[in-house]
Amino acid sequence: MRYLGRYDVLAIAARVLRCDSDDVVRRSNLDAIDRVLDGVRLTGGLAESAGVLLAGLVRARPFGGANRVVAVAVVLQFVTLNRAELQLEPVADVDDLLDRIASGDAGHPEAAAFIRSRLEHHPVTAEDLQEHLKIELLDGLGDLLQDWWRGDPMYEQFSEPARHVIVLAQEEARGLDHVYVGTEHLLLGLITLGQGVASRVLADLGITAPAVRDLVVEIIGRGRSGAAAGTIPFTPRAKSTFEFAWGEARARGAEQVGPEHLLLGVLHDGDGVGGQIITKLAESTDEVRRKLEKHMNWRRRSEDLVAGMLAEDPANTWTTYGRRHHLLAELNAVLEENERLHEQVAALRDLLRRHNIDPDS
Amino acid sequence: MAKDGTKNILLRLDPGLAERLQTVASVEGRSVSDVAREAIAALVDQRRQDAQFSELLEQNLARHEESLRRLRGDD
């Protein structure tokens, strides 16, 4: 997740209000902005983060008279920076939401739900990924390896969510001012993706983004401010993680490398910073792997069931082609709904933990 | 209100930074608020000069110009 900082928000406000930087600093309540941004950093998924940002800015009114338009512009920029787009039309619904937030009748959950319903995610293309994977090898092995890496067809096999994890990992590295992307950033990317089996398993085990970031800072520290400009290279361990994930995907008969395979890669490298952090936050990497494989196997069985039905002789089993496809679509919808519910439960468990309530008590 | 008609800014600073700001303010004979505001404005300027960030912002504002214009104002 690419979070906004105080200066990002002020820069957006200055542009919207058409005033200079000094003016916007004079006109804004900086402390209120900081408090809102602190709250956003405690959140996970994009819709939730954007909801906290919007509700926080509308309630705190750090920009005085033109607060609403600036707040909405800030949220638009936040969403776009995270590779999605927010639809404002019909704008009357936005006004209604902002009224309810301002009057205290609605809060960040309502704002998040509204934003979720208006979000369109930009797909991460192979070209985007290629751009993010411009490797500047740290170990100095030269152009030969670099070309081998760039030309590898492996990345064509990365699923859309797996590509998104890599983009998020780069953003996490940038956020910590690190000049490389390591397994710890991949772990953060897997968490902040906020969907799918890998995210769910990590959330179930209480491995949250703030906790991981704290440990990254404790183990490695932050980089020099502004050092992580431009393309950030991957560490050799991160690259090994990709290769391992690719191998796992192929060994399991998957057509594409998914986030769950990337997590298997992070778990495999127990000595990497990502693996060390998982060991600190969970019982062991083996425990996480067991849970992950359990979820993956469950999903796989469901998919096999669907595929099996598809392969059966329609003359014996299904009355018509249309009915067969209708039932398969329904089955898939049930699976998706089940996954969504699992994600909601994981989010609620995380919320309880953040309030020091044991979800299993 | 400060004497020049602007308000003092409220900002949480770590003690080390606050101390440095206090030193600069004392040397230059200005208020800590003034010095902090100037420093923050310089950082905002820097952010506005980030081409990628600005380009994205301009695209966003252009795309949503009509919707933003119709958004109800604050009371």
pLDDT for the residue numbered B5: 46
pLDDT score at A15 = 95
CB pair distance less than 8 Å for B41 and A73 = no
Q: pLDDT tens digits, residue range A180-213? A: 889 999 999 999 998 888 988 898 888 999 999 9
Q: CB contact, 8 Å: A7 with chain B?
A: yes
Find the CB nearest B44 among A7, A31, A65: A7
Cβ separation A69–B45 shorter than 8 A = no
pLDDT tens digits, A268-301:
988 888 998 998 888 778 888 888 888 787 666 6
Q: What is the pLDDT at residue A130? A: 47
Task: Specify the higher pLDDT residue, A359 or A12.
Answer: A12
- What pLDDT does residue A148 have? 35
Domain boundaries, given as residue ranges, for chain B: 36-75
Q: Given CB atoms, is A74 within the 8 Å cutoff of chain B?
A: no
Contact A184, A178 (CB under 8 A): no
pTM over 0.90: no
Higher pLDDT, A86 or A301: A86
Chain B touched by A345 (CB under 8 Å): no
Quick one: average pLDDT of A40-61? Answer: 88
More confident residue, A133 or B15: B15
Of A124 and A359, the structure prediction assigns the larger pLDDT to A359
Closest CA to A59 of B74, B34, B71, B40: B74
> Does residue A315 or residue A145 have the better pLDDT?
A315
Q: What is the pLDDT of residue A2?
A: 77
Residue numbers of A between 12 and 41 with CB closer than 8 Å to B: 12, 14-16, 20-22, 24-26, 29-31, 34
- The most distant pair of C-alpha atoms in chain A lies apart, rounded to whole Å, by 76
Testing the interface with A: which of B30, B40, B61 to mutate, by most A Cβ within 10 A? Answer: B40
Residues of A in contact with B4 (CB under 8 A): none
C-alpha distance from B18 to closest chain A C-alpha (Å): 15
Report pLDDT digits (tens) over B32-67: 778 888 888 888 998 898 888 899 999 999 999 999
More confident of the two residues A68 and A324: A68
- By the 8 A CB rule, do A72 and B71 touch? yes
| Beta carbons of A61 and B60 less than 8 Å apart | no
> Cβ of B40 and A88 within 8 Å?
no
Q: Once rounded to an integer, what is the mean pLDDT over residues A355-361?
A: 78
pLDDT at A33: 94
At A140 the three-state DSSP class reads coil
Nearest to B71 among A10, A21, A72 (CB): A72
pLDDT at A177 over 60: yes
Using the beta-carbon criterion (under 8 Å), do A11 and B47 form an inter-chain contact? yes
Does residue A320 have a pLDDT over 60? no
Kindly give, in sequence order, each residue whose CB lies less than 8 Å from that of residue A240, ignoring residues fewer than 6 positions away.
A265, A269
Residues A97-149 pLDDT 10s: 999 999 999 999 999 999 988 987 665 555 555 444 443 333 333 333 333 34
Nearest residue on chain B to A58, alpha-carbon basis: B74
Of B12, B37, B45, the CB nearest to A26: B37
* Residue A247 CB neighbours (<10 A): 16
* Tokens read off for A264: 């298997």
Q: With 70 as the cut, is the pLDDT of residue A53 above it?
A: yes
Q: Give me the domains of chain A, ranges plus CATH numbers.
A: 6-121 (1.20.120.1870), 125-361 (1.10.1780.10)
Give CA separation, B5 vs A237, B1, B2, B9, B10, in Å.
Answer: 57, 6, 6, 13, 16
Residue in chain B nearest A71 by alpha carbon? B68
